[in-house]
Amino acid sequence: MRLTVIGTGYVGAVHAACMAETGHEVLGVDTDAERIAQLAAGRPPFYEPGLGAMLQRTVDSGRLRFSTSLPEAAAFADTHFLCVGTPQRPDSGAADLRHVEAVVQELTPYLRDGRSLLVGKSTVPVGTSDRLAPRLRGAADLAWNPEFLREGCAVQDTLRPERIVAGVRTPRAEARLRKIYAPLTAAGAPFIVTDPATAELVKLASNSFLATKISFINAMAEICDATGADVLTLARAMGADSRVGPRFLSPGLGFGGSCLPKDIRAFTARAEELGLAESVAFLRQVDEINTRQRRRTVGLAERLAGGTLADRSVAVLGAAFKPHSDDVRDSPALAVAEEARRRGAQVRVHDPEALDNARAAHPGLQFVLDVVKACEQADVVLHLTEWPQYRDLDPAALAAVVRTPAIVDARHTLDPAVWRAAGWTLCAPGRPRLG
């Protein structure tokens, strides 16, 4: 089938390449001419494992092309996936739908009357599809098909999804989406059909639940710090209960990125618009607990640095909000680095993939390409993004270059026994006995 993907940011670029990989002819469309040129050359504009090779392969095959023209998109295909961003509005926690609304307004005059299907993948507040559908003036059907991508695993999540949710109004829309996703459902992917409102809601509800689980175990880490209990043992014991499960029950610095923080705030704002603020009031606490972990990590750093970070040298391991990504949006690691700098520390930051993006977003910090050089003469090292490269560091070799062998493991992926045997003092949130 022929498909267009409108918006070639993170979601759109991955979706376009993966749909072409499954055999469809795909045209990716974006207003950013520089991005389009880069994608057309087979080069992804961001780091995502597996995407580069797939992009080059599908471009070379001719199944994937790119354009800046919406009229060309309308002429190319009858099915259009809407993958533009919905960032948080600067004046509130609500989602900014300007890009979604602009595409609907600009594309509609070019659509083939009654034959087109516009499929939303952007994360939007519940009720958005119902509000937008009349604006299509009968030129197209409107369905919602939310994405459930994890940065660092996006290609796998697209080609081997845990579920495909299709929020449709008509049997024709359902049939077309089933045909598009047939290669994935044939491999076992569940295909869940629902109305558009439920499809919109499932993305925000899922992310809100995951955020709640992370903040819950971080709240327990605070209790562990106060009582001498060990949060990792607590999490393991809780996760052994099949009703709870171990996934996302991972204490540490908390979540960041472009999805969970934005989505729980947008969900809260939409509930308030519906007069249901009390139903999701707990999400404000989830957000506050998450933000508090950043301050607590800085507090651990001060403790290891002798009570103050003023005039101290701090090495930060990690800039991306999560490993296997170069995304620094709402990065907890960079928030901690900036707070350490504000408290008077000289901060050097290392990351395997995200330094260019981090440098652009935080020009006041110092960025170092070599992890050992980042740690030279450091009074305290902060392990803030759980890249496997950091787990594999030699603590004895690193101890030889720092001023003081003291480290905060805010991600709980370092082996305390190994590091302490190499002469390090290691602190981790929720594990007071390690300090």
The count of other CB atoms within 10 Å of the CB of residue 286 is 25
Q: Which of 18, 224, 259, 427 is catalytic?
A: 259
φ, ψ at 366 (rounded to 5°) = -100, 135
Place of tokens 């805010």: 410
**Annotation marks residue 83 as catalytic:** no
Read off the amino acid at residue 229: A
HSE-CB at 404 with a 13 A cutoff on CA atoms is 17
The count of other CB atoms within 10 Å of the CB of residue 139 is 18
Q: For every residue of the chain, which 3-state class applies, written as one string?
A: CEEEEECCCHHHHHHHHHHHHCCCEEEEECCCHHHHHHHHCCCCCCCCCCHHHHHHHHHHHCCEEEECCHHHHHHHCCEEEECCCCCECCCCCCECCHHHHHHHHHHHHHCCCCCEEEEECCCCCCCHHHHHHHHHCCCEEEEECCCCCCCCCHHHHHHCCCCEEEECCCHHHHHHHHHHCHHHHCCCCCEEEECHHHHHHHHHHHHHHHHHHHHHHHHHHHHHHHHCCCHHHHHHHHHCCCCCCCCCCCCCCCCCCCCHHHHHHHHHHHHHHCCCHHHHCHHHHHHHHHHHHHHHHHHHHHHHCCCCCCCCEEEEECCCCCCCCCCCCCCHHHHHHHHHHHCCCEEEEECCCCHHHHHHHCCCCEECCCHHHHHCCCCEEEECCCCHHHHCCCHHHHHCCCCCCEEEECCCCCCHHHHHHCCCEEECCCCHHHC
φ, ψ at 347 (rounded to 5°) = -115, 130
Q: Which residues are catalytic?
A: 259
